[in-house]
A and B are shown apart, each in its own frame.
Chain A
C-alpha cells in the first residue's frame, strides 16, 4: 500500500528528533525535503525537515498529522482555513549570517496575552525560534544543558551570564501550523518561567513529559524586516517595554554619570583653589540709630589684578533688635567709575509662648563681581534703626577683602551639569518601572538600580 510519502522515509536508525538546536552531523546527509498528501483534505504538504519532524499541521485544513511513522496518521482533524501569517511558512531569511526557513508556527497565550513563535530550520544548524509579541522579535536557541544557579536566589546563569527571574506562568497553545520536532497541537498547556538580562531572555517550558530551556536574543527592529519581510504590529502591550528590552538610556547614563562625577569633582577643586579672600582694608565706624544716615569714605583700596571680586563684610557685634542699612559705592579714583552694592545687618530676639527666639545676623557680607584694577575709595551711607531695642549707637566693623567665594556660581554649575543626568535617569527610571511592572516582583528600587549595572 502506498503511503503518503513521495519519497522513502528516513531509515529507522536515524534519530527522529535530535536535540533541538543541535546541528545535524555535517558528515551525514542533510534532511531531505519531502512532500506528502494530507489524509484529511488531500492537500500537498512539503516537509522541510523530513526525518526530524514528528508532527505537521496541514496548511490547508489545519489537521494535525503524525509523520514520525511511514503511514501518516491524523492526530486531530480540522477543516479550517489556515491563518494568514506575518511570515508565511516556507519563507527563508538570514539571521546572524545563516539562512533559516520558517517551517512551523505557534500562537500561544496566557491570561489573554498572546504571542507568536516561528520554528526556523536549517539542515546544517538545526532549529531556532523567532518569537514576537508585536513589540519586537527575539531569536531563540534551545539549550542542550541546564542553566546553573546564579549569584542570587532568583538568578540563573548560562555561559557566565546571569539572568534575573522575571515571571512565572502557564502558556496555552492556541494555534499551530507547519511541522514540528515534537508532538504539539492546539490546546496544549505548559508551565513557563522567564529570566531576563538586558537584550536576552532565558525561558523555561515544562510539561509532565519534559522540560526545555531556550535562550533568546532580542533582535534589532529592522533585522526581521530585512530578512523575512516581517514588521511589528505593536501588539497588546504596545508602549510597554518588553521584559528583556534594554533601557535605551543605559548606554548614555553610565558615561554621563562618569562625566558628571568628574565635572563635579573639578568644580569643588576649582572652588577651593579660587575661592576665599584676602583682607585689604578694615575700619570701625559708629552709627547712631534712628538718626539721619551717615556718609563715610574709607580707603584707599588698591586692587591689583586685572579683574577681581571684592567682598565687603560688615560686622556689628552688639547689634540687638535693630538693623543697619549700608549702601556701598566703590569709586575708582582715576575714572570716577562707581560700583554700587548694599548690605544689611539685622538681629532680632525675644520671648514668646514657645520660649526665646532670635533671627537675623549681625554680619552682612556683600560680594561684588569683576571689578577692574585700580585705586578705590569706599563710600558708605549707613543708617541704623531700633526695632524694639534701645541702642544709642551701633559699632560696625567694615572690612574690604579681595576675592569672594560665589557659592551661587557653584550651585548654578552643579545644576547645569546634573540636570541632564537627572532627566536621563528619570526617563530610565520610568522605562524600568514600566518594564519591571510586568514582572512577578514588580518594580523595586533594587532592580532599577541593578539595571544600571547591566543586570
Chain B
C-alpha cells in the first residue's frame, strides 16, 4: 500500500470520525434552524 492510499485511508477515517462527532452532538451544517430570517418562500403549486 502506497502513501497515497494510506493518506486516503486517513481521509476516510477523518470523515467517519467527523460524522460520528456530528451525530453525537446533533450537528449538521444543513439543519433548518436559524434560517427563518433569510428564507425565500414561494407558495402555490409548481408542477405546471
Does A37 have its Cβ within 8 Å of any Cβ on chain B?
A: no
Identify A327's interface contact among B9, B31, B36, CB under 8 A. Answer: B36
* 0 or 1 for each of A250-261: is its CB under 8 Å from B? (1 = yes): 011001100110
Contact: B5 with A252, CB < 8 Å? yes
User: Which residues of chain A have C-beta atoms less than 8 A from B19's C-beta?
Assistant: 267, 270, 409-410, 413
Does A124 have its Cβ within 8 Å of any Cβ on chain B?
A: no
Residues of B21-43 whose CB lies within 8 A of A = 22-37, 39, 41, 43
Residues of A219-242 whose CB lies within 8 A of B = none
Interface size in chain B (residues, C-beta < 8 A): 38
B46: shortest Cβ distance to chain A, in Å? 7
Contact: A340 with B37, CB < 8 Å? yes
| A352→B2 CA distance, assembly (Å) | 62
| A366→B36 CA distance, assembly (Å) | 11
Identify A403's interface contact among B13, B26, B29, B34, CB under 8 A. Answer: B26
| A408→B46 CA distance, assembly (Å) | 24
User: Which residues of chain B have C-beta atoms less than 8 A from A267's C-beta?
Assistant: 16, 19
User: Which residues of chain A have C-beta atoms less than 8 A from B34's C-beta?
Assistant: 339-341, 368
Identify A342's interface contact among B8, B28, B32, CB under 8 A. Answer: B32
Identify B43's interface contact among A259, A271, A275, A385, CB under 8 A. Answer: A385
Contact: B48 with A370, CB < 8 Å? no
Contact: A274 with B24, CB < 8 Å? yes
A296: shortest Cβ distance to chain B, in Å? 16
| A359→B46 CA distance, assembly (Å) | 8
Q: With contacts A274-B23, A404-B26 known, is A348 near B44, CB below 8 A?
A: yes
User: Which residues of chain B have C-beta atoms less than 8 A from A273's C-beta?
Assistant: 23
B21: shortest Cβ distance to chain A, in Å? 10
A364: shortest Cβ distance to chain B, in Å? 10
Identify B36's interface contact among A255, A263, A340, A413, CB under 8 A. Answer: A340
| A328→B35 CA distance, assembly (Å) | 10
Contact: B28 with A367, CB < 8 Å? yes
Residues of chain B at the chain A interface (Cβ within 8 Å):
1-2, 4-5, 8-9, 11-13, 15-16, 18-20, 22-37, 39, 41, 43-48
User: Which residues of chain B have C-beta atoms less than 8 A from A408's C-beta?
Assistant: 28-30
- List 10 contacting pairs A-B, 8 Å CB cutoff, sorted by A: A252-B8, A263-B12, A307-B25, A309-B26, A339-B33, A340-B36, A341-B34, A348-B44, A360-B45, A367-B31
Contact: B43 with A387, CB < 8 Å? yes
A277: shortest Cβ distance to chain B, in Å? 10
User: Which of the listed residues B32, B41, B44 has the most CB atoms from chain A within 10 Å of its own CB?
Assistant: B32
Please provide the 3 A-B residue pairs with the shortest distance between their CB atoms, ordered closest to farther: A309-B26, A368-B33, A369-B31
Identify A409's interface contact among B9, B13, B30, CB under 8 A. Answer: B30
Q: With contacts A266-B16, A267-B16, A413-B15 known, is A370 near B26, CB below 8 A?
A: yes
Identity of the chain A residue whose Cβ is nearest the Cβ of B22 in the assembled complex: A409
Identify B15's interface contact among A274, A368, A416, CB under 8 A. Answer: A416
Contact: B25 with A346, CB < 8 Å? no
Contact: B26 with A256, CB < 8 Å? no
Q: With contacts A252-B2, A348-B45, A360-B45 known, is A342 near B26, CB below 8 A?
A: no
Known contacts A271-B23, A340-B33; 15 further A-B pairs (Cβ under 8 A): A255-B5, A273-B23, A275-B23, A307-B26, A307-B27, A309-B28, A323-B43, A325-B41, A341-B36, A367-B32, A368-B34, A369-B33, A387-B44, A404-B31, A413-B19
